A and B are shown apart, each in its own frame.
Chain A
Amino acid sequence: MSVTLTERAAQRISSFIEKRGKGVGLRLAVKTSGCSGLAYAIEFADESAPDDLLFESHGVTVLIDPKSHVFLAGTELDFVREGLNEGFKFNNPNVKDQCGCGESFKV
């Protein structure tokens, strides 16, 4: 199953990468930490690793390592605004439970 970006998220990511001046795409990962066991990581990618799974979405390359992909398959990444705060949000169908703040989750 693929991982996708909403158009809004893709636009933001493209402009961030452009302003940063380098980067081949966006790396999404899941780390084993946080109050509910797993946590998202979202970083600029300067290079891809041999095992990376690559997804193309609205012109942005998304890089995911195979271990993280297990937890991310089918996820859609969105860019939303909540009051003064704006940022990225994971719509992950694998999540069964998440901590109150949503920064970490369980599958």
Chain B
Amino acid sequence: MALLQISEPGLSAAPHQHRLAVGIDLGTTNSLVASVISGTASVLRDEAGRSLLPSVVHYLADGQVETGHIALAQQTGDALNTIASAKRLMGRGLSDVVDQHQIPYRLIDSPGMVSIATTAGPKSPVEIGAEILKTLRLRAEAALGGELTGAVITVPAYFDDAQRQATKDAARLAGLTVLRLLNEPTAAAIAYGLDNAAEGIYAVYDLGGGTFDISILKLSRGIFEVLSTNGDSALGGDDFDRAIAGWVMAQLALPPLDAHDMQHLLTQARAAKEALSVEPVARIQVGLSHGGTIDTLLNRDTFETITAELVARTLKPTRKALRDAKLNIDAVKGVVLVGGSTRMLHVRRAVADFFRQTPLSDVDPDQVVALGAAMQANVLAGNRGNDDWLLLDINPLSLGIETMGGLVEKIIPRNATIPIAQAQEFTTFKDGQTAMSFHVLQGERELVSDCRSLARFELRGIPAMVAGAARIRVTLQVDADGLLSVSAREQSTGIETSVIVKPSYGLSDTHVAQMLQDAYGKADSDMQVRMLREAQVDARRLLDATDAAIHQDGDALLTPVERQLLSHAMYALAEVLETGGADSLKALKQASETLNQATQNFAARRMDASIQQALTGHKLTELG
């Protein structure tokens, strides 16, 4: 007997058609899965009642794979085959990995992404992430009693397109349909219902096990925009554990411990750290392998003193993020705490002092990202009414295609809400042209050289036609995750080619702001250049067309004098085209006009001749 959940009014599903959707927080240290059940977002637990799944995968020689707590237990015993923190390598090439010596695995450079050598063969971060996601998927299916419709997976706001694509690939490999990727700070803000709150600036302070991230978000019209991010990828709760362990060793003047004892001490240090968020004093007891014992008390004041420097280290990136967003502390309307380490009282106090307000902390900081993702997944799966919010993103910079003359034809404008698809028709420039090369660009300026190049591709096999006769439809589509796909299709034959462009993110917000600034400042001169380039393109087209016509009909339809006149006009135009500088627009237009005039009689005669030719051999009645 299936168990039923309460639906929103009018939205109860037909039998066997439950739209089960989950939110997944795929973390560096731990991962979680959550879902909205009977209207309430809650984290789904495993058989043992645990909500956190350590993001650790253990590969065995026989091809078996262990994940989570079981894998974590192997970390000391089989370190080379127990992969933790694979998220740091997601979508990264070997050359991108800066702190290679700190990674205890054997890294292999594979095309596109680094891999890790394990006893079960090379494993890419995508495959490792997929194992974690698969475990979470199975947990969710057991808890929700059915197959999942889809999932929203969170990623750090600073992830670039390659990292986002890798995360999506991992999800697909794990058998999940990705409804969309969601920025972690945005998910946290959603969990607090800030998307329904007053518009304004919000800060998300995320101190996890091994990483620190600060994000500044701007909410306007229900849309969160990430204004800036900063952080420290090597600062987290683990550093606090190590600080306690160091203090214990110094206090008791202990000789260096072996790896096993050290691991024990760190575990106890962690327990003490957690206890000190509730109790004023914690006891640290460790039985050492050679017989001795550690037994000492740590009070809250001492703990806060020995870790004050770590807390202070989070404030520098925070200050920088605000500066990057060009904001004062007073502009921040609310602060959200994310990550288990924000339970520490002195961390909370530091954040409160810094932002001069009490941070939001009533949602479990370990769960808040997954809960927000679950709420978003619930909406995207269609379990909420139409009047409810649907989180939208915007396209930060215009997207377009290069046209003749080095100009950019914008197809998707800046600030368009995504997902979006826009198409425009282009045509051939030369007679008999059978291929077309496309250059996809991003930016607000008029010239290709001032915009950011995203991709190039070619459409081949266009049937030979006169210039301007072919119709090539170019479609630009930005999906909900900001990934851009571009396709070009020749309308008469249906031949098509397409490209998926990865780096539509890749730009920092400051970079975007700079590009916009340039565009505004140079709008006038850009327009001048655009007009000149257009005139040049027109002139070339006119020269080509005249040349072709003379070649074809010049002998039959032109007197030698006329022919000479035409040649003069063509020469004059070519001269301006070749030698004219940036201010030759007027001269160019004049020369084009002169040539146009000169060809008028010729064009009329050609028209007559072709009609005559068409009529020859036909009776008048046939033409009815």
Contact = CB atoms under 8 A, between A and B. Distances in A.
Interface of A: 12-13, 16, 19-20, 26-27, 29, 31, 33-35, 39-46, 80, 82-90, 98-99, 101-104
Interface SS of A by simple majority: strand
B9 interface: yes
A43 B6 contact: yes
B5 interface: yes
Nearest to A87: B3
B39 A44 contact: yes
A100 B7 CA distance: 22
Given A35-B16, A85-B144, A103-B16, A42 B6 contact: yes
Given A16-B39, A35-B15, A35-B16, A87 B145 contact: yes
Contact of A44 (B2, B3, B9, B46): B9
Q: Which of A45, A85, A88: most chain B CB closer than 10 A?
A: A85
A84 B143 contact: yes
Contacts of B5: 42, 87-88
5 contacts: A33-B15, A43-B8, A82-B3, A85-B142, A103-B2
A82 B40 CA distance: 19
A20 B39 contact: yes
B40 A101 contact: no
Contact of A16 (B2, B40, B44, B143): B40
B14 interface: yes
Contacts of A87: 2-5, 37-38, 145
B561 interface: no
Nearest to A39: B15
B142 A83 contact: yes
A84 B139 contact: yes
Contacts of B142: 83-85
A83 B11 CA distance: 26
Interface of B: 1-12, 14-16, 37-40, 44-47, 139, 142-145
Given A44-B7, A46-B9, 14 more contacts: A16-B6, A20-B40, A26-B6, A42-B7, A84-B142, A86-B3, A87-B3, A87-B4, A88-B4, A89-B1, A89-B3, A98-B1, A99-B15, A104-B15
Contacts of B16: 34-35, 101, 103
A42 B18 CA distance: 13
Q: Which of A41, A80, A101, A104 has the most CB of B within 10 A?
A: A41
Contacts of A16: 6, 38-40
A68 B5 CA distance: 18
Contacts of A80: 3
A39 to B, nearest CB: 5
A27 B15 contact: no
Contacts of A88: 3-6
A1 to B, nearest CB: 21
Contacts of A33: 14-15
Contacts of A86: 3
The 7 lowest CB-CB distance pairs between A and B, nearest first, are A87-B3, A102-B1, A34-B15, A103-B15, A41-B12, A85-B145, A84-B143
Most buried by B among A31, A34, A86: A86
Contacts of B40: 16, 19-20
A42 B12 contact: yes
A16 B38 CA distance: 7
A43 B143 contact: no
Interface-centre pick from B5, B6, B37, B44 (highest chain A CB count, 10 A): B6
Nearest to B47: A84
Q: Counting chain A CB atoms within 10 Å of each CB, which of B3, B7, B14, B45 scores highest?
A: B3
Contacts of A41: 7, 12
B8 A40 contact: no
Nearest to A80: B3
Contacts of A12: 38
Contacts of A27: 9
Contact of B10 (A43, A83, A90): A43
Contacts of A99: 15
Contact of B4 (A34, A40, A82, A98): A40
B15 A43 contact: no
A101 B14 CA distance: 13
Contacts of A83: 142
Nearest to A81: B3
A16 B5 CA distance: 11
B39 A42 contact: no
Nearest to B1: A102
Nearest to B40: A19
Contacts of A40: 4
